């Protein structure tokens, strides 16, 4: 019997020692808070997403963002809630210079200057009557098969991106998984002189059941068919590398994997192959709502589970976590909460 040279042994695992050797950290610096904005009225809580609201563009939104900044959450991702009268087949409202997102960006930029990092969602599903992220084919037979006219969609999202840049966005975040969306947006931004506006691309986005509560929040569920012809198949991991490669070649500044929790292996894979690109992961609505619902029932410890989830997403390789829990986490950390 011989002992291996370096026999495993127990260190004195006091709290400061555990913190000293911890491989992963979570801080508000790495979090992006998604915010839903709408035209007027009062803030409305989203039933399937307890604690999340649709904010009218105005004082209350400013107060809310100022609270985020006080807690150290300095990055936000804006989504526009649009009532059905403003939706059409071709998402014309989406690039209106006085649209709800454009107005919100202008207001927040004026209030907070460069203290606040503003990302905007660039996709047409919440601006169209059909609820798809691309323009469905005009040919009925193809419509049934879920055929999306990829290239006509690019023109619209390029205009939308320019209108957000014009309003003052730091980054536009195309989320529709249209082929060539990054190149089309980069070209349009550069042409209009917005070379300093970045692109965070939803490079790897799965056709997922975890988006349910979000679609309720924006009333953006597809009216027919589903998104499987343009979002990824949950059974595929290596395909993510092809999607990431195309977006890198087209000029993406930040890559994203979405959803996060059921795709930690994909986050790790993309980070391993593209270590020199910032990687974001989207801890999506369904992931958030499951935690909230179980916590409400008293079945889980909300703080512990939330911290564990976001830590796991960071451990898998995400530099940035987009999460509806951002303010809760920032508040708990500020209070000195550290469960590990």
Active-site choice (87, 103, 159, 205): 205
Binding characters for ligand PBG, 276-295, by CB under 6 A (x = yes): --------xx----------
Supply angle C-alpha 243, 285, 165, rounded to 5. Answer: 60
Q: Which stretch binds ligand PBG (CB under 6 A): 19-27, 58-66, 102-110, 117-125?
A: 117-125
Closest CB 205 distance from ligand PBG, rounded Å:
7
- Contact between 78 and ligand PBG by CB under 6 A: the answer reads no
Q: Is 263 in the site for ligand PBG (CB under 6 A)?
A: no
Peptide bond connecting 259 to the previous residue in cis, omega within 30 degrees of 0: yes
Q: Angle between the 181-191 and 150-167 helix axes, to the nearest 10 degrees?
A: 40
Is there a contact between 65 and 118 (Cβ–Cβ < 8 Å)? no
Q: What gap in Å lies between CA 270 and CA 258, rounded to an integer? A: 12
Using the rule CB under 6 A, is 262 a contact of ligand PBG? no
CB of 23 to ligand PBG, least distance (A): 27
Q: Rounded to whole angstroms, what are the CA distances from 39 to 109, 116, 166, 305?
A: 17, 21, 19, 35
Residues in region 158-197 near ligand PBG by CB under 6 A: 175-176
Figure out which of the listed residues 215, 268, 273, 315 binds ligand PBG, where binding follows CB under 6 A.
215
Least separation, in Å, of the C-beta of 133 and ligand PBG?
5
204 binds ligand PBG (CB under 6 A): no
Task: Choose, by CB under 6 A, the member of 48, 123, 181, 232 that binds ligand PBG.
Answer: 123
Give the contacts of 111 (CB within 8 A, at least 6 positions apart).
62, 65, 66
* 303 given a catalytic annotation: no
320 binds ligand PBG (CB under 6 A): no
Q: How far apart are the first and last CA of the chain?
A: 37
Its sign, for the CA torsion 37, 38, 42, 45, is negative
Residue 119 is a binding residue for ligand PBG (CB under 6 A): no
Q: In the beta sheet, which residues pair with residue 282?
A: 322
- Whose CA is closest to 142, among 52, 205, 225? 225
Check: CB of residue 306 under 8 Å from CB of residue 291.
yes
The residue annotated as part of the active site, out of 87, 258, 271, 292, is: 258
Number of amino acids touching ligand PBG (CB under 6 A): 12
**Can residue 332 be called a binding residue for ligand PBG (CB under 6 A)?**
no
Pick from 211, 230, 263, 274 the residue near ligand PBG by CB under 6 A.
211
Backbone angles phi, psi at 110, to 5 degrees: -65, -40
The footprint of ligand PBG (CB under 6 A) covers 121, 123, 125, 133, 175-176, 211, 214-215, 227, 284-285
Please give the positions annotated as active site: 205, 258
């Amino acid at each position: 019997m011989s002992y291996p040279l370096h026999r495993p042994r127990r260190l004195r695992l006091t709290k400061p020692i555990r913190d000293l050797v911890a491989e992963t950290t979570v801080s508000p610096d790495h979090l992006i808070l998604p915010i839903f904005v709408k035209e007027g009225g009062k803030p409305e809580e989203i039933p399937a997403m307890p604690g999340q609201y649709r904010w009218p563009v105005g004082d209350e939104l400013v107060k809310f963002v100022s609270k985020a900044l006080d807690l150290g959450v300095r990055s936000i991702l804006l989504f526009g809630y649009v009532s059905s009268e403003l939706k059409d087949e071709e998402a014309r409202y989406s690039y209106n210079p006085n649209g709800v997102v454009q107005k919100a960006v202008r207001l927040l930029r004026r209030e907070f200057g460069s203290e606040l990092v503003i990302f905007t969602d660039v996709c047409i599903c919440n601006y169209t009557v059909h609820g798809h992220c691309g323009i469905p084919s005009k040919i009925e037979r193809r419509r049934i098969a879920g055929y999306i006219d990829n290239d006509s969609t690019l023109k619209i999202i390029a205009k939308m991106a320019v209108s957000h840049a014009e309003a003052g966005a730091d980054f536009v975040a195309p989320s529709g998984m249209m082929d060539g969306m990054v190149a089309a947006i980069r070209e349009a931004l550069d042409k209009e002189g917005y070379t300093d506006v970045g692109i965070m691309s939803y490079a790897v986005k799965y056709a997922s059941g975890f988006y349910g509560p979000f679609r309720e929040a924006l009333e953006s569920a597809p009216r027919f068919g589903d998104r499987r012809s343009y979002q990824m198949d949950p059974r595929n991991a290596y395909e993510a590398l092809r999607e990431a490669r195309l977006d890198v070649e087209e000029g993406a500044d930040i890559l994203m994997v979405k959803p996060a929790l059921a795709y930690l292996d994909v986050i790790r894979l993309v980070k391993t192959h593209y270590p020199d690109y910032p990687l974001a992961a989207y801890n999506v609505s369904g992931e958030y709502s499951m935690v909230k619902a179980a916590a409400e029932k008293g079945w889980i410890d909300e703080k512990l589970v939330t911290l564990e989830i976001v830590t796991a997403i960071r451990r898998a390789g995400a530099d940035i976590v987009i999460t509806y829990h951002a303010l809760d986490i920032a508040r708990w950390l500020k209070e000195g909460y550290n469960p590990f």
